[in-house]
Amino acid sequence: MTLISEKGYAGASVEDIAEHADVARGTFFNHFPRKEALISAWVEARQERLMERLALAGLGRCGSERERPSPADGLRQCLAVLGALNEEEPELSRAMLTAWVQTGRPLEEEPYLGEILAELVAIGRARGEIATRLSSEQVGEALRDLYLGALYRWTRRAARSERPGRLSSELASALELVLHGLAVPERLAGDGRVEVLTKWRPPFGNRRPAEAEACRARPGVRGIGAVTAGQLDLALLCDDEGNGVRITVLGPLHGVAGGLSAEIVVDTPFVAGRLTLSLWRSRLTSWAEALDRLEAGEDVALLHVQRGPSVFIHLNGARHCPEVVVEDGLVSMTTVRVPIDLPADWVTTHRALLAAVLDGWDGHLSQT
């Protein structure tokens, strides 16, 4: 690798590399079937070093929850490690990055870095510290793109004999822009850094039928979020044991005509979390049919999405009471079962909630 640092990947032939390593050309091919295999070896070694340093920083996949820093600090540390890895061997990093791009590797390899970043984002979403407008995978991919873009610019400046500057500083500045975009404005610190990226909202709100207001008033219900102007609840399932599942329509689905953006909020004394989903008129029609079947005593899927979150209601669950099952089959691959002692008239309440959503968004919804 020393020779590649000096001559660049293209400028160092197999013969040059073998001579520099004091081995025969055939010996080189015993270890590497072709020159391009050096790129794969470098990428694998870089991945190992990255995982080792993340583990030391408490960000390893096997690290305990208590040892982990906050999600925002975790993302900062991850990008700081990436910057340091490149700055420790700047010539080699630039040479191998150039070769990595020229040989088409970004299009062929699995985006392992995006997966690592998505895991950090998912932890923040589960803690209620990162907004849920986008999936963890989308944010992870965006952060990977941010890293690669900064890395490309850093490499290009050096190739033009310009001062490349500190890669780690550029990464830190770019990340702060993203964190500010993810943050709830009220929680930004005075110095511009993000203290906590979002916060839980207390229960249910003030714009719903009287039956839902009675649910909100139950003393055991913990706060799983108040709707704000322009938002409508589609489901309010809660009991006096502190268990709750809420589905809220947030507004139009950005960039997609005829759809609505919504979120599922689960809150129990043991587990809490949020998931985003998209709604269409066809799904709301299926919702109405599911309520009819529930009233007839059938277990149903209130919302079943092949590539997204699903919600099922079992009228006689494992604890011999109604059970709401929330499945996240796309991001966290997690299933949460919430036993909820529902009032006798809860189906009537939810027909009223559905009617309010359909009436409020009738002109916007498509049949997709």
> What tens digit of pLDDT does each residue of 218-260 get?
333 333 444 444 688 898 888 777 788 999 998 888 767 788 8
In the structure encoding, which two tokens stand for residue 350, read together? 């939810």
Query: pTM for the full model?
Result: 0.46
For residue 11, what are the CA distances in angstroms to 8, 99, 102, 174, 282?
Answer: 5, 11, 14, 33, 60
Residue tagged 């669950």 (tokens): 317
8 A C-beta contact, residue 364 and residue 256: no
* pLDDT confidence tier of residue 345, bands split at 50, 70 and 90: confident
In degrees and rounded to multiples of 5, residue 53 shows phi and psi of -75, -35
Query: How much of the chain exceeds pLDDT 70, in percent?
Result: 71
Select the more confidently predicted residue: 109 or 83.
Answer: 83
Delimit the CATH 1.10.357.10 region(s) of the chain: 36-187
* pLDDT confidence tier of residue 201, bands split at 50, 70 and 90: very low
For the cut 50, the answer to whether the pLDDT of residue 184 exceeds it is: no
Delimit the CATH 2.30.31 region(s) of the chain: 210-360
* pLDDT confidence tier of residue 364, bands split at 50, 70 and 90: confident
* pLDDT confidence tier of residue 120, bands split at 50, 70 and 90: confident
| CA proximity to 26, closest of 40, 11, 10, 14 | 14
* pLDDT confidence tier of residue 299, bands split at 50, 70 and 90: confident
Cβ-proximal residues to 282 (8 Å cutoff; 6+ apart), any chain: 367, 368
Burial 227-240 (b: 16+ CB within 10 A, else e): beeebbbbbbbbbe
CATH number for the domain whose boundaries are 210-360 = 2.30.31
CATH number for the domain whose boundaries are 36-187 = 1.10.357.10
8 A C-beta contact, residue 232 and residue 248: yes
CA distance 267 to 273: 7
Q: What value does the mean pLDDT take over residues 118-140?
A: 80
In sign, the C-alpha dihedral spanning 8, 9, 10, 16 is positive
Q: DSSP code of 267?
A: E
8 A C-beta contact, residue 208 and residue 236: yes
CA distance 182 to 232: 22
pLDDT of residue 209: 41
CA distance 355 to 358: 5
Q: What angle do CA 330, 253, 200 make, to 5 degrees?
A: 70
* pLDDT confidence tier of residue 2, bands split at 50, 70 and 90: low
